[in-house]
Chain A
């Protein structure tokens, strides 16, 4: 175990390398990669690693990158790739395929605004575009969380009760290019945490057809199995968290991360790095006697509705900070969360930091003022901070 100054890009790659090596006695590591800002540093580090077994294949597009990952995964390799923004859009078809094949692929997305016009900064719209693709999705708040989540993502994905791909999201630049001291576990620890992968539908030497024609009645069954696997995620995740703590000595956060929620009237809901800004806001508000609280959604798929409902308790006003926009509707998180808010509460959507503007505590303070004045919900609002 060592502590190093790492960017979150490198944190993700480091975790993938450790996880890949942990599978050296079985199918090794596999990955198809294609660079895109702001993910490039991650795959550069990955490409520089000489795996004991397996390899990183540099391909000509994101679509092929995921295709290569699927091949590796079906062959029993522990599989990882990374992308962002329009790269994910181009990969989209195979993103669905990986999930529908029930392959435990892990992907890092350095969330970046979709273009054109071109913008390289953070926005969660790229990964949220894939919310219906059948992948599990995590949103991280700091470098260590990126490393830890990537490691546990493999464990979760490969659990025979789950067998689903996992997307580990990190904010472009705010995480991807920011260096902080990060604890890198030893290979021996990771070996203990991640046993060799045994995929039940792993292909062997004799030819088989995978993903042939599904008749309607078969599709119904497959979708049901997929949905049930999603339903088991939170339960399995609890086990994984505990085992993670046993091996690494720290416990990853749950699907939602509450802050000062016990008695909160006003709650700010966020995903990703905005969570830390929300905590600053809550501290400042509480100094003024306002009962504010924060809730960060860490697992977005499956959607942790129950956990949100119980965390929100008796909150009266809820501000959902959406760093994304579903055009023609509003923020994606807001639209999903509404149904789980306490009865009679006011849920206001603020789409803030679209295109990567720096969301500062002062911005949130003005939202708090706005929220305090509100008597009923307004149309989702776009807040400019850029």
Chain B
């Protein structure tokens, strides 16, 4: 590439010019207020053809709000939107689609009882020339789309039976099946594994070559460098800066996001490991996982790695009594236990932080306070009634500790930003003081600052003798946090690795099965 500098310069110039002509999207002075917060404050933003523009910022910075305005879900209070130089007044999501905007939202917007094909083409079924819907054709189209991405998903089951990663893939497929000029991805990779992410990036490169513009939101800052051309940093609803990606470093981005810099990300592991608290022996569930055995001791952090569909979530759900296992035994502090429902698991001191916050983690109709204190209501009982004062105190404590951004603890969780919702899910289990904590994708969607905070908390918990299991797609996280890592592939344990002596590559090799 670097044959001669002059050539490069000329190229740059040429690009500049072409860019001017190819501004797909421009936002000017966008302001949006919700009760109690100014989510966006005079935001300018633009997007060129063939460009991927990253949008980063803390949880609650206003990223989703901004893209939802482009996608027609919200209406800005003031400010203008131009698409290909024409001022537009986006009425609703349908209108945005007509204008060529395809949107993959942060939270699932799928219809749980419909299958993959139906969800992918939802709202666009009737556009055919004939009255009836040609399901065969649609199914074929959907299948081709997924095949081209090497994503294997059963399109004929209701999406409610899919895992969160699969749901995410359906959402992405839904967007790319649209004929759009602007694509918006709001944290598409939060639930995906390395392999799926690679495929997604291939796809994004393809889109860029076709002259399509992409707005890309992510909290995995490292991944924006290879895929994006520019980055815009938001803080408290304001644009802090926009830069070419190769003129900025990750540390600079973090500093602009948080207004401060971060030091070492992972605290030192807890050195003192105590007695065995949990032992799983030959646990099997037909068609899902088989013969799984492992031990977990006080103060230990055990990681579980594996590709999507390897059975990680199902395994921990079985330990927690959410799913029932077919065979095998579970021992807690040496005693065999029969866990048939979550409440028995909880009575044994186990907590599961689920990966699907919308369907299983939160009660959207309730407030931040109610969602967090739900696990400790019995403990808050004085005589017959709940001690409201103590409840508030505990909740405010955890809200401050996790830096949950909400207008007040009486705000409905449905109105919080995605990352802040995730922090509420963490909060309600951190408050419960369980002995065995199982985190299923705990940091998805939370910003770098909050991640560090969370790592700190995990560390403190393990130092205080809690036994912890962490499932994560982010291998750096597993390597930084855990003592041991269990690698699952196709429902079986393929390796048990000492974290100190392993690395990302080894884990991946086991996970994809190339060691066997």
Bound together: no
Q: Which residues of A contact B (CB under 8 A)?
A: none
